[in-house]
């Protein structure tokens, strides 16, 4: 097995030290963490080693390296897209099928709905209602699918659980059936709208158990649809999510 080059090992060490400093400094996203010259002096390493360490942190979504006179080494907040990409690569390499990702969503979303019923605000519920209204008025598949995502995003946010919401964000993207050719018929769309209304009603009455129950039935419908009309997807491998194409 080929040994890792000393420069790479040192760069990873510098990247970890720099990350520790960033975390302890509690810097805001968008600020510069210093110039290359300043960092070279601070860490006392060669230019190639420093640049490799910066590329490590850039690949993790922590830094943005902007060229030019108005550029610099800018701090960023890692996005859900970075997490989604990493998980999708892991699942693809381990040959985890798409249907397993769908089932993971079934395990996560009922809990989010229950928490949304407890922690959601009237503003959250108004957003859910507005999304349902837009779904009902949608005249094309793309608009309907987008509003379906919006409703579930509001549920995740209203739950107040940033950890579960992060897990959901990754799983939701990877379990998006439309990326595999799944389409909603008019009847499917009406079932989705009815399910969203039932979930919202439960949230408004602060019935966590009922909200979870309705959500469990709702997300399970996607698995049933796949198994009934898209049987080839049950064994289809999870696709690698391209974070650069996510917009």
Domains plus CATH for the chain?
Answer: 6-75 (1.10.10.10), 80-245 (1.20.120.530)
How high is the pLDDT of residue 123?
98
184 conformational bin, left if phi > 0, alpha if psi -120 to 50, beta if neither: beta
- Distance, in Å, from the CA atom of 212 to the CA atom of 157, rounded to the nearest integer, reads 15
For each of the chain's 247 residues, which pLDDT tens digit applies? 334 455 568 899 999 999 999 999 888 888 999 888 999 999 999 999 999 999 999 988 899 998 877 678 999 988 899 999 999 999 999 999 999 999 999 999 999 999 999 999 999 999 999 999 999 999 999 999 999 999 999 999 999 999 999 999 999 999 888 888 888 899 999 999 999 999 999 999 999 999 999 999 999 998 998 899 888 888 889 999 886 544 4
Contact call for residues 18 and 62 (beta carbons, < 8 A): no
149 by DSSP, 3-state: which? helix
| Residues 223-232: b if buried by 16+ CB within 10 A, e if exposed | bebbeeebee
pTM for this entry: 0.80
């Amino acid at each position: 097995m080929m040994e890792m080059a000393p420069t790479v090992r040192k760069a990873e060490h510098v990247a970890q030290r720099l990350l520790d400093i960033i975390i302890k400094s509690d810097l805001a996203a968008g600020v510069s963490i210093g110039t290359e010259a300043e960092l070279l002096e601070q860490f006392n390493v060669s230019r190639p080693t420093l640049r490799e360490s910066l590329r490590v942190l850039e690949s993790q979504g922590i830094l943005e390296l902007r060229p030019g006179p108005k550029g610099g080494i800018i701090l960023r907040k890692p996005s859900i897209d970075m997490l989604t990409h990493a998980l999708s690569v892991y699942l693809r390499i381990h040959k985890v099928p798409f249907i397993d990702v769908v089932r993971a969503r079934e395990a996560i979303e009922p809990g989010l709905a229950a928490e949304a019923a407890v922690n959601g605000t009237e503003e959250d519920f108004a957003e859910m209602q507005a999304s349902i209204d837009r779904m009902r008025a949608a005249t094309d598949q793309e608009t309907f699918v987008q509003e379906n995502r919006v409703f579930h995003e509001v549920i995740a946010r209203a739950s107040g659980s940033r950890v579960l919401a992060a897990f959901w964000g990754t799983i939701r993207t990877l379990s998006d059936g439309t990326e595999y050719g799944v389409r909603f018929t008019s009847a499917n769309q009406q079932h989705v709208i009815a399910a969203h209304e039932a979930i919202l009603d439960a949230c408004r009455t602060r019935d966590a158990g009922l909200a979870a129950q309705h959500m469990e039935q709702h997300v399970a419908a996607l698995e049933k649809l796949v198994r009934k009309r898209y049987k080839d997807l049950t064994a289809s491998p999870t696709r690698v999510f391209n974070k650069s194409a996510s917009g």
